[in-house]
Amino acid sequence: MRRWLLVLGVILGWALAGPAHAQGVAERPHTRVELLAETRTPAPGRTFTVGISFQPRPGWHTYWVNPGDAGMEPRAEWRLPAGATVTPLRFPVPKPYLVQGIMNHVYEGEAVLLADVTLPPGATGAVPLAVRLDWLVCDENMCVPESAELSLPLVVGDGAPDYLAAPRLAAARAALPQPLATPGRFQLADGRVRLWAPVAPQGVRRAHFFPLAHDVIDMAAPQALGQGADGLVLETAVASNPGSFKREVRGVLRLERDDGRVVGLELALRPGEVPPARPLGSAAAGQATFWTAFGLAVLGGLLLNLMPCVFPILSLKAMSLARAGASEAHARVEGLAYTLGVVASCLALGAVAIALARAGQGAGWAFQLQDPRVILFLMLLVWAIGLNFAGLFDVNLGAVRLGGGLARQGGAHGAFFTGALAAFVATPCTGPFMAGALGAALVLPWAAGLAVFAGLGLGLALPFLAIGFVPALRRHLPRPGPWMESFRRILAIPMWLTAVGLAWVLGRQAGVDAVAWGLLAALVLALGLWWWGRAQRGGRPSPVPALVAAAAFLAPLALPWPAALGGAGSAAAARVAGTVPEPFSPTALEARVRARTPTFLYFTADWCVTCKVNEKGALADAAVARAFRQAGIGVMVGDWTRPDPAIARFLAERGRAGIPLYLFYGADGRVEELPQILTVERLLALASRGSAAPA
């Protein structure tokens, strides 16, 4: 009966539809439509984006490209200048709409459909951009077909963005489903189908698969959500004649997360084994995910204390506690204050990372190191700390000392700022246990995610916290003496080596000009601190050298916005396993997987210490290169030294918030994630598996 009502509504609607007018906006009885262009002066030979905004009246809806059991997709007939081309329309993520057993795929609010127009190289003068639209708009009781002819007056020019339309089109791009780099699988059994998607299940509340083809699934049947091996599993009924299951199935996966966000993913499904799903989203499962992530974060933070930029600060702070001969109460206060400083820094960084990830920007631990200005600031900071350790100067602002002076300063203030400093300079490091833990933090609810970042801070603070609360540990510290001053100067060396490493990263990100600017700032900083130190030792304090040193710290502000910097390339140019890796792209990876080509995919960055250790160690081994070559294993690298939305999306799909990440795509179709610390033996075993024939 519902289908006959729809047909009757269509017939009546054609009679009621009003005339179409050629303009940029059209008001119809049930829909407002508008034609948008990101520029009013498109450049010849260049591509620009146009959008069609459908805004149904309250209670009405329009349709996706596959409208479901009933309805009609919007149709566009373009009229363009000679030689111009236009791509098919791209649709935002729809929502399921079930009425009386009929499933529709709809938009109940504004939906902006996008297309890209390319002008011919010799285009001049006016650009006649026009489109005729036909669409169906429905409510619960009836459907009305509507139409309009829209046009925009464009003139060939420099391609400058339209300040009104460009932000709306940018928001429309963000609403499009994002492609999944790794294909999914489907398995048929007894009129049912299980669909597996390589998406981290943490934080997913509901999911719905919208197939592009009509003859795939029973669209009105419930889709049961669960989790399988490293991904989500949906189980539903197949269509009466499931012809599309004889080939690849494509569609859009709509995810509703616990925090209310809706995420759309373009998914390609291929035949393969999909085991039955486990329950998803139970309170016990959520608690298990949280406590696992929290425990891994604590372990990861504990290991960060061994990093060259953190260990000297921790060592001096511990020895200052022993030298002071602190009481039990004083030692505990310092331990708690240090812990509070570390946790506060980790919470601040975590809050920004979670906010960026949920805004669709993609972020993780050390996200700020993708900005060369932050790299330059860190370089100057650790350079100054090293100069302080070497005895060149001391900083005393009342009760609080900064830099290396903090490490020797007693009291709660000094301990707090020492902890905050240690956490901040630890951000270039991602060690074992951290990637999975912080990846879960980005998709858990806000409170749970921040608690995981707090666990990272707790792990980083644990050694000093233990020293403050366990007298036996303090008794085993070396006895104070003149040797401590020599040891403090020796600890300046790893800080300076860290500064050298950051200067190298700065050059890789922003080029030699940025390095020259950074070295000049470091020289000015050193002169100012030397001047300050002489004034301190002579008993003639002056604010002038302090102002000179502070001015040097403003050098990062002189660097242009990161997007305007031209880097010199980075890790992708290095040889790994005896070959120059192919740069990562979702399309290239999908082509390799489709061809069943064994592929070793890794994600790295110039600021990632663990990544560089693996690249200079196991990945550079001659035996590994020979084994990979004999097994026909291709190597692909994702370089995250600078921001890359495709890499950020891929890491989010895998439930990761940081790097390194090592994946092996076998000829048998299986995907294996490797540990963050690679060994030659592990890679050789991987090569032996890669040489196996496809299943």
Domain count, the chain: 4
Residue with tokens 């070295």: 519
Per the CB < 8 A criterion, the answer to whether 647 and 600 are in contact is no
Per the CB < 8 A criterion, the answer to whether 94 and 68 are in contact is no
Mean pLDDT calculated for residue range 638-662 = 78
Q: State the DSSP string of 286-340.
A: HHHHHHHHHHHHHHHHHHHTTSTTTHHHHHHHHHHHHHHT--HHHHHHHHHHHHH
Q: Are residues 526 and 453 in the same domain?
A: yes
Is residue 510 in some structural domain?
yes
- Under the banding of pLDDT at 50, 70 and 90, the label for residue 405 is very low
Residue-level pLDDT at 151: 93
Per the CB < 8 A criterion, the answer to whether 84 and 4 are in contact is no
Note the pLDDT tens digit of each residue in 356-395.
666 555 555 566 677 788 888 888 888 888 888 888 877 5
| CA separation for the pair 216, 247 (Å, rounded) | 10
Per the CB < 8 A criterion, the answer to whether 395 and 401 are in contact is yes
- Under the banding of pLDDT at 50, 70 and 90, the label for residue 510 is confident
| CA separation for the pair 559, 247 (Å, rounded) | 52
Mean pLDDT calculated for residue range 15-37 = 74
Q: Are residues 109 and 251 in the same domain?
A: no
Burial of 159 from C-beta contacts in 10 A (0-12 / 13-18 / 19+):
middle
Is residue 313 in some structural domain?
yes
Per the CB < 8 A criterion, the answer to whether 648 and 587 are in contact is no
Is residue 280 in some structural domain?
no
- Under the banding of pLDDT at 50, 70 and 90, the label for residue 86 is very high
Q: Which structural domain range is residue 680 located in?
A: 571-690
Write the CATH number for 165.
Answer: 2.60.40.1250
| CA separation for the pair 512, 496 (Å, rounded) | 20
Write the CATH number for 623.
Answer: 3.40.30.10
Per the CB < 8 A criterion, the answer to whether 443 and 260 are in contact is no
Note the pLDDT tens digit of each residue in 293-338.
788 888 878 877 777 667 777 776 676 666 555 677 878 888 888 8
Segments of 499-609 assigned E as strands: 582-583, 599-604
Is residue 695 in some structural domain?
no
Q: Which of 271, 297, 313 is the last residue of a domain?
A: 271
Q: Per the structure block, which two tokens stand in for 426?
A: 């630890």
Is the pLDDT confidence value at 285 over 80? no
Q: Which letter, b or e, does each residue of 191-219 get, where b requires 16 or more Cβ atoms within 10 Å of its Cβ?
A: eebbbbbbbbbbbbeebbbbbebeebbbb
Q: Other CB atoms closer than 10 Å to residue 579's CB: what's the count?
A: 13
| Cis peptide upstream of residue 660 (ω within 30 degrees of 0) | yes
Is the pLDDT confidence value at 443 over 50? yes
Q: Per the structure block, which two tokens stand in for 131?
A: 């489109």
Query: Which of 479, 463, 503 has its CA nearest to residue 380?
Result: 503
Write the CATH number for 201.
Answer: 2.60.40
Give how far Cα 155 sits from Cα of 36, 38, 129, 152, 354, Å.
Answer: 14, 13, 10, 10, 42
Q: State the DSSP string of 490-529.
A: HTHHHHHHHHHHHHHHHHHHH-HHHHHHHHHHHHHHHHHH
Q: Are residues 148 and 192 in the same domain?
A: no
Q: How many helices (H) and strands (E) does the chain have?
A: 20, 25
Is residue 238 in some structural domain?
yes
Q: Are residues 356 and 433 in the same domain?
A: yes
Output Rg (C-alpha) for the chain, integer angstroms. 30
Q: Are residues 525 and 407 in the same domain?
A: yes
Q: Are residues 590 and 517 in the same domain?
A: no
Handedness of CA 448, 452, 455, 457 (dihedral sign): negative
Q: Are residues 422 and 529 in the same domain?
A: yes
Mean pLDDT calculated for residue range 242-267 = 83
**Beta-carbon contacts of residue 180 (< 8 Å; ≥ 6 apart):** 197, 198, 199, 253, 265, 266, 267, 268, 586, 653
Q: Are residues 547 and 591 in the same domain?
A: no
**Beta-carbon contacts of residue 382 (< 8 Å; ≥ 6 apart):** 309, 425, 495, 496, 498, 499, 502
Per the CB < 8 A criterion, the answer to whether 598 and 667 are in contact is yes
| CA separation for the pair 450, 347 (Å, rounded) | 6
Per the CB < 8 A criterion, the answer to whether 549 and 525 are in contact is yes
Q: Which of 564, 597, 617 is the last residue of a domain?
A: 564
Q: What share of the chain is helix, strand, coil (3-state, %, to 5)?
A: 45, 25, 35
Is residue 375 in some structural domain?
yes
Query: Which of 211, 156, 664, 658 has its CA nearest to residue 440?
Result: 658
Mean pLDDT calculated for residue range 650-675 = 78
Query: Which of 387, 406, 381, 386 has its CA nearest to residue 395?
Result: 406
Query: Which of 107, 3, 132 has its CA nearest to residue 57?
Result: 107
Is residue 276 in some structural domain?
no
Strand bridging mode 143-155 / 22-23: parallel
Q: How far apart are the first and last CA of the chain?
A: 49
Q: Are residues 237 and 316 in the same domain?
A: no
| CA separation for the pair 638, 646 (Å, rounded) | 9
* Average pLDDT in the chain: 80
| CA separation for the pair 364, 371 (Å, rounded) | 13
Residue-level pLDDT at 57: 95
Question: What percentage of the chain carries pLDDT values higher than 90?
Answer: 22
Q: Enter the pTM of the model.
A: 0.57
**Beta-carbon contacts of residue 470 (< 8 Å; ≥ 6 apart):** none
Is the pLDDT confidence value at 435 over 90? no
Is residue 279 in some structural domain?
no
Q: Are residues 376 and 524 in the same domain?
A: yes
| CA separation for the pair 215, 116 (Å, rounded) | 29
Q: Are residues 345 and 456 in the same domain?
A: yes
Per the CB < 8 A criterion, the answer to whether 346 and 423 are in contact is yes
- Determine the residue type at 257: R
Q: Per the structure block, which two tokens stand in for 430?
A: 């991602």
Mean pLDDT calculated for residue range 59-81 = 93
Q: Are residues 23 and 165 in the same domain?
A: yes
Mean pLDDT calculated for residue range 675-684 = 87
Per the CB < 8 A criterion, the answer to whether 441 and 452 are in contact is yes
Q: Which of 158, 175, 192 is the last residue of a domain?
A: 175
